[in-house]
C-alpha cells in the first residue's frame, strides 16, 4: 500500500509546499500531490518509502501552523470506521464494522440509473436476517497477535492486496499497528471478527509468515504470540497451571507467558508464546482465546451486576478493563466519568460518601504510596476519593490499613486499582487470587439487620457475593455508636458485599426517618379536660 493520505492540511497549503517538505526530508514520491480542502494524497515508489514518510512526518512536521498527519490511504468507509470505533455516545462506546455484500449484483447500473441513484441489490445472503437466520455475532474480544516487523510487508501485500484478501475471506477487520513502537522488532495486529473468523485470519497470517520465511531464507522459528490483558491470564493458567497444561497436551504445543514484571500501567497485556506446527498453534489459539473470552464475559456480567447496585455507575469510565471493546484498550489511568454520572445517592439525590478500611500487606505500603507520595496522590485524583494509609499499630504489624473515603463509584475505582497494584507488584503469586479484608462501620442498631434472624441475611450475602462477611459478636460500639462488619474476598466479591450492606443500611435509615404529617395538619390539639 504505497498511496499516502496527508491530513490536517492548512487551507493555505499548496502542492508546491508539500513537495518542498518531501524534498527537504529526502522522501521521494512517484506522482503529483493531489491537494483537497484539509487533506492531500500522494503516491510513493514503494512500501518502505511510504513507511519512512509516515515515521518522519506524521505529527512532527508543521505546515502553516498545523502538524501534518500522514498515514496510508484507505477507503473512506475504513477511515470512517476507525474514527467512529470507540466513540462515546450517551455513555456507550460505538462499535462499527463494514460487511461487504458479495451477493450484490456485479453488473448493477451506474448511479443515477435508478430511482434517486438507487442501485438494485442482489438477493439476501445466506444466513442474513432476511433469510430467517441470525448472523454470527462478532466477538467482543478481538484477537491481538505480535508479528516480526520484517513480515509486515508480506502480510499487507502489494498495494494492500493480501490483507484485503484475508479480510474478505475471513469476514474480519484487521488493524496492523505499524506506528506503535517505532523501530521495534515486532508489531501488533488486531483482528475483529467472530471467534471462527479470528482463528481463520490468524492461521492465514501464520501461513504467509512461514512462506515469507522460506522465500527469504529466514531460519529462526516463528512462534505464535498472542496478547491478552493481565486480568484474564490468571484464569487462563488455572489453578496450579492446570488449564494451560491441558491446552499444551491437547494441542501438542509448548506455551509460555511473559512475566508480570513486564507489565506497566500503560501496557497491561501479557504475551502468550505458542510453539508448534501451524496446525497445532491454530488449535492452541482457539483454546486460549476461548478461555480469555469466557473470563471477559464473566467479568462483564459481574460489572453489570455492580451497575445495577450503584445507580448511574459508568462502567466504561472506571478503567478496570482494557478499552476498545467494552473495556479493551491499554490505557487505564485517564478515563473519567461523564458529567452527571453519579456513584450513589443520598436522600437529596447527591452521591453519599462512604468510608472503607482496606487492609493490605505491610510490605506493599511503599508501592501504594509511591515515591514522595506520587502514586497515592494520582490514585486519589483518579478515583475522586480521599486515600490515607494509617500508621502501623505495632513493630511487627503484617497488615496496614488504607482509609478510603468517597462515594460508591470512587470506592469502586480506588479499591479496584489497589487490588490491581498488589497483583502487578507480585505481592500475590502468579496463580494466587488477590483477596483482601475490608471493614465498614454500621450503626450498632443496624447490625442485627445485617446479620438477619438466625444469621439468615449474612448467610445469603455470602452465598450471593462469594465473599466472607462477618459481624464479630460482643463488639463494644465506638464513640459514634458504630460496630464493624468485616468483608474478605476478591475485588468483585468484596464490592458486591459492600453494596448490598449499604443497601441494607439505606433501608434502615429510611425507616428511621420520621413520617411527615399530612399537608395542612398541625400537631394534634390537646383534648379539653372535663370539669
pLDDT in tens, 502-514: 889 988 888 877 7
Q: Decide if pLDDT at 355 tops 50.
A: yes
State the burial class of residue 352 (Cβ atoms within 10 Å of its Cβ: 0-12, 13-18, 19+): middle
Q: Residue holding cell 493520505?
A: 5
Q: What is the spatial distance between Cα 195 and Cα 224, in angstroms, rounded to a whole number?
A: 17
Q: Looking at 195-244, which runs of residues are DSSP E strands?
A: 224-229
- Give the phi and the psi of residue 329 in degrees, each rounded to 5: -135, 160
Q: Which range in 297-306, 316-325, 407-416 is most confidently predicted, on average pLDDT?
A: 407-416
Least confident span in 1-5, 114-118, 423-427, 473-477: 114-118
Q: Decide if pLDDT at 518 tops 80.
A: no
pLDDT tens sequence across 24-59 = 999 999 888 988 888 888 988 888 888 888 889 988
- Mean pLDDT of all residues belonging to the chain: 78
Residue 184 has which C-alpha cell? 521495534
* Residue 171 neighbours by CB distance under 10 Å: 19
Q: What is the spatial distance between Cα 410 and Cα 395, in angstroms, rounded to a whole number?
A: 32
**Residue 264 has what pLDDT?**
61
- Give the phi and the psi of residue 207 in degrees, each rounded to 5: -65, -40
Residue 347 has which C-alpha cell? 436522600
Is 182 in a helix, a strand, or coil? coil
Residue 304 has which C-alpha cell? 453489570
pLDDT tens sequence across 65-101 = 888 888 877 655 565 666 676 666 655 667 666 555 4
Query: Which neighbouring-strand residues pair with 275?
Result: 254
Buried b (16+ CB within 10 A) or exposed e, 128-146: eeeeeeeeeebbbbbbbbb
For range 206-215, the mean pLDDT: 94
**Residue 336 has what pLDDT?**
32
Is 116 in a helix, a strand, or coil? helix
Alpha-carbon separation of residue 235 from 100, 207, 293, 294, 422 (angstroms):
36, 29, 11, 9, 17
Q: What is the spatial distance between Cα 366 and Cα 362, in angstroms, rounded to a whole number?
A: 9
Q: Decide if pLDDT at 1 tops 60.
A: no
- Give the phi and the psi of residue 397 in degrees, each rounded to 5: -65, 125
Q: What sign does the CA torsion over 408, 413, 416, 417 have?
A: negative
Are 286 and 272 in contact by the 8 Å Cβ rule? The answer is no
Amino acid at each position: 500500500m504505497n498511496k499516502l493520505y496527508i491530513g490536517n492540511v492548512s487551507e493555505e497549503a499548496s502542492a508546491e509546499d508539500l513537495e518542498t517538505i518531501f524534498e527537504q526530508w529526502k522522501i521521494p514520491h512517484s506522482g503529483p500531490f493531489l491537494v483537497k480542502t484539509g487533506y492531500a494524497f500522494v503516491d510513493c515508489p514503494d512500501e518502505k518509502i511510504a513507511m519512512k514518510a509516515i515515521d518522519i512526518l506524521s505529527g512532527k512536521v508543521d505546515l502553516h501552523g498545523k502538524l501534518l498527519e500522514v498515514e496510508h490511504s484507505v477507503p473512506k468507509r475504513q477511515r470512517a470506521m476507525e474514527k467512529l470505533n470507540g466513540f462515546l455516545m450517551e455513555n456507550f462506546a460505538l462499535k462499527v464494522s463494514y460487511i461487504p455484500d458479495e451477493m450484490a449484483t456485479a453488473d448493477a447500473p451506474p448511479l443515477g440509473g435508478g430511482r434517486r441513484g438507487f442501485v438494485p441489490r442482489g438477493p439476501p445472503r445466506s444466513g442474513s436476517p432476511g433469510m430467517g437466520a441470525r448472523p454470527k455475532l462478532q466477538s467482543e474480544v478481538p484477537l491481538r497477535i505480535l508479528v516480526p516487523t520484517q513480515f509486515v510487508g508480506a502480510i499487507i501485500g502489494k498495494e494492500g492486496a493480501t490483507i484485503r484478501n484475508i479480510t474478505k475471506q475471513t469476514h474480519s477487520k484487521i488493524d496492523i499497528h505499524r506506528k506503535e513502537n517505532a523501530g521495534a522488532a515486532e508489531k501488533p495486529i488486531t483482528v475483529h471478527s467472530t471467534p471462527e473468523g479470528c482463528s481463520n485470519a490468524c492461521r492465514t497470517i501464520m501461513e504467509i509468515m512461514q512462506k515469507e520465511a522460506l522465500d527469504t531464507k529466514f531460519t529462526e522459528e516463528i512462534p505464535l504470540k498472542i496478547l491478552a490483558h493481565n486480568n484474564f491470564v490468571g484464569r487462563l493458567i488455572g489453578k496450579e497451571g492446570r488449564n494451560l497444561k491441558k491446552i499444551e497436551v491437547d494441542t501438542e504445543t509448548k506455551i509460555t507467558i511473559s512475566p508480570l514484571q513486564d507489565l506497566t500501567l500503560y501496557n497491561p497485556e501479557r504475551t502468550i508464546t505458542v510453539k508448534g506446527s501451524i496446525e497445532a498453534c491454530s488449535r492452541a489459539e482457539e483454546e486460549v482465546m476461548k478461555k480469555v473470552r469466557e473470563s471477559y464475559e464473566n467479568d462483564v456480567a459481574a460489572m453489570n451486576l455492580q451497575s445495577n447496585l450503584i445507580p448511574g455507575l459508568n462502567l466504561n469510565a472506571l478503567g478496570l478493563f482494557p478499552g476498545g471493546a467494552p473495556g479493551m484498550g491499554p490505557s487505564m489511568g485517564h478515563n473519567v466519568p461523564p458529567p452527571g454520572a453519579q456513584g450513589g445517592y443520598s436522600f437529596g439525590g447527591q452521591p453519599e460518601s462512604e468510608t472503607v478500611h482496606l487492609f493490605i500487606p505491610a510490605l506493599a505500603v511503599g508501592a501504594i504510596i509511591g515515591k514522595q507520595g506520587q502514586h497515592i496522590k494520582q490514585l486519589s485524583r483518579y478515583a475522586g476519593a480521599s486515600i490515607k494509609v494509617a500508621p502501623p499499630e505495632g513493630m511487627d504489624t503484617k497488615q496496614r490499613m488504607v482509609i478510603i473515603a468517597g462515594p460508591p463509584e470512587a470506592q469502586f475505582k480506588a479499591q479496584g486499582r489497589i487490588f490491581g497494584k498488589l497483583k502487578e507488584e507480585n505481592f500475590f503469586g502468579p496463580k494466587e487470587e488477590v483477596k483482601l479484608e475490608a471493614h465498614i462501620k454500621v450503626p450498632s442498631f443496624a447490625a442485627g439487620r445485617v446479620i438477619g434472624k438466625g444469621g439468615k441475611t449474612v448467610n445469603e450475602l455470602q452465598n450471593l457475593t462469594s465473599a466472607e462477611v462477618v459481624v464479630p459478636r460482643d463488639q463494644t460500639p465506638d464513640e459514634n455508636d458504630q460496630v464493624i462488619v468485616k468483608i474478605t474476598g476478591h475485588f468483585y466479591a468484596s464490592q458486591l458485599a459492600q453494596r448490598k450492606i449499604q443497601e441494607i443500611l439505606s433501608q434502615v435509615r429510611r425507616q428511621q426517618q420520621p413520617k411527615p404529617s399530612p399537608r395542612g395538619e398541625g400537631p394534634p390539639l390537646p383534648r379539653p379536660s372535663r370539669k
